[in-house]
């Protein structure tokens, strides 16, 4: 178990934030507007859980983005929006991001940052954080708060109570091209030894335990694996998140249409 890293959030890239927010609410999630990012290119809605992690619905602020995507800057996760709605990355929370960067560099990883970022909430409150990336990847990136985390991730009862009974993030399955290479890369990032992964049909898996959260790496195990097409379309990225619910009637895979292409499975506590 590691106390150095914790699951922070997973990102769903969407073209239309209002539509995505409405769809997630229809799935029983209490999605709410988060605000506009400091660069002005994106804004978000959040789905926050009592366990502390959250989902971020991330969209371009330019409503004509998709029509002009060939001529605009595709940074700030906009490249994922251009590929179609779905998973775009995830973040791990680290308290001492400078120390984490130093340790990763010592293990010969190509590290960018820590880089300052922020967002203005609808109530006008300015929040700030810093991020760290390895090989310019968003799967994962690392984040630490410069302002109190509760400003970025509210814990108000009306925001963390969901009609579908979800209370926490159980695990995240990340698609990787080759399991051995993926495991070695994550060992270098996290400084942890892997354990066996869960059974996933037509896949090879390994896992890393971060507190009460499990990070699963999954690589195609044979030619029938859906991971092949997924990796072709979105690259190494989150494949499925598993959320704990207290309501058995809501267990199962959420509608991919309503979840905007992001595989979200609700499981028992």
Residue with the bigger pLDDT between 111 and 63: it is 111
Distance CA 215, CA 236 (A): 14
Q: How far apart are CA 213 and CA 205, in angstroms?
A: 16
What pLDDT, on a 0 to 100 scale, did the predictor assign at position 68?
A: 67
The arithmetic mean of pLDDT across residues 207-233, rounded, is 95
Residue showing tokens 């809501």: 250
Percent of the chain with pLDDT strictly greater than 70: 94
137 contacts 181 by C-beta, under 8 angstroms: no
Residue that is written with structure tokens 């990796």 in the block: 231
CATH topology of domain 5-158: 2,3-Dihydroxybiphenyl 1,2-Dioxygenase; domain 1 (3.10.180)
pLDDT bracket for residue 51 (50, 70, 90): very high
In angstroms, how far apart are the furthest CA atoms of the chain?
A: 51
Structure tokens belonging to residue 102: 């130093």
Q: For residue 6, what pLDDT band results from cuts at 50, 70 and 90?
A: very high
From 1-5, 8-12, 163-167, 264-268, the region with the lowest mean pLDDT: 1-5
Query: Please, which residues have CB within 8 angstroms of residue 99's CB and are 6 or more apart in sequence?
Result: none
**Two structure tokens written together for 87:** 């998973």
Reported as a pLDDT band with limits 50, 70 and 90, residue 7 is very high
Which residues contact residue 79 at a Cβ distance below 8 angstroms, ignoring those fewer than 6 apart? none
pLDDT at res. 31:
99
- 179-198 pLDDT, tens digit per residue, is 999 999 999 999 999 999 99
Region of residue 22 (phi > 0: left; psi between -120 and 50: alpha; otherwise: beta): alpha
Residue 70 banded pLDDT, cuts 50, 70, 90: low
Q: How much is the mean pLDDT over the chain?
A: 93
Taking residues 61-66, report their average pLDDT.
77
Kindly report, as residue ranges, where domains of CATH 3.10.180.10 are found in the chain: 5-158, 163-267
How much is the average pLDDT of 34-54? 93
DSSP state of 68: G
Whether the pLDDT of residue 79 is over 90: the answer is no
With a cut of 90, say whether residue 63 has pLDDT above it: no
Task: Write down the pLDDT at residue 3.
Answer: 46
Burial class (CB in 10 A: 0-12, 13-18, 19+), 94: buried
Sheet strands side by side (includes 213-220): 195-196, 203-210, 213-220, 166-175, 238-245, 263-267, 252-253
pTM of the model: 0.94
163-267 has which CATH code? 3.10.180.10
Residue 71 has pLDDT above 60, yes or no: no
Confidence at residue 269, expressed as pLDDT on a 0 to 100 scale: 83
**Number of C-beta neighbours around residue 65 at 10 A:** 19
For 51-82, give the secondary structure using H, E and C: CCCEEEEEEECCCCCHHHHHHCCCCCCHHHHH
pLDDT tens for 105-143 read 999 999 999 999 999 899 999 999 999 999 988 899 999
């Amino acid at each position: 178990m590691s106390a150095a890293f914790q699951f922070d959030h997973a990102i769903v890239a969407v073209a239309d934030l209002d539509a995505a927010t409405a769809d997630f609410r229809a799935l029983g999630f209490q999605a709410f507007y988060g605000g506009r990012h400091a660069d002005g290119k994106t804004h978000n809605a959040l789905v926050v859980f009592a366990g502390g992690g959250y989902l971020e619905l991330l969209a371009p602020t330019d409503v004509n983005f998709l029509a002009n995507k060939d001529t605009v800057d595709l940074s700030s996760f906009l490249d994922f929006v251009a590929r179609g709605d779905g998973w775009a990355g995830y973040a791990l929370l680290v308290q001492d991001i400078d120390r984490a960067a130093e340790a990763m560099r010592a293990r010969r990883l190509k590290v960018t940052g820590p880089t300052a970022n922020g967002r203005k909430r609808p109530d006008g409150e300015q929040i700030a954080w810093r991020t760290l990336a390895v090989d310019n990847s968003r799967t994962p990136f690392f984040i630490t708060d410069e302002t109190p985390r509760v400003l970025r991730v509210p814990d108000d009862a009306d925001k963390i109570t969901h009609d579908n009974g979800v209370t926490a993030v159980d695990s995240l399955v990340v698609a990787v091209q080759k399991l051995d290479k993926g495991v070695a890369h994550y060992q270098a990032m996290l400084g942890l030894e892997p354990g066996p992964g869960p059974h996933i049909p037509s896949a090879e898996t390994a896992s890393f335990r971060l507190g009460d959260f499990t990070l699963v790496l999954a690589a195609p195990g044979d030619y029938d694996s859906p991971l092949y097409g997924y990796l072709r379309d979105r690259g190494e990225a989150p494949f499925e998140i598993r959320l704990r619910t207290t309501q058995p009637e809501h267990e199962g895979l959420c509608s991919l249409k309503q979840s905007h292409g992001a595989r979200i499975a609700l499981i028992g506590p």
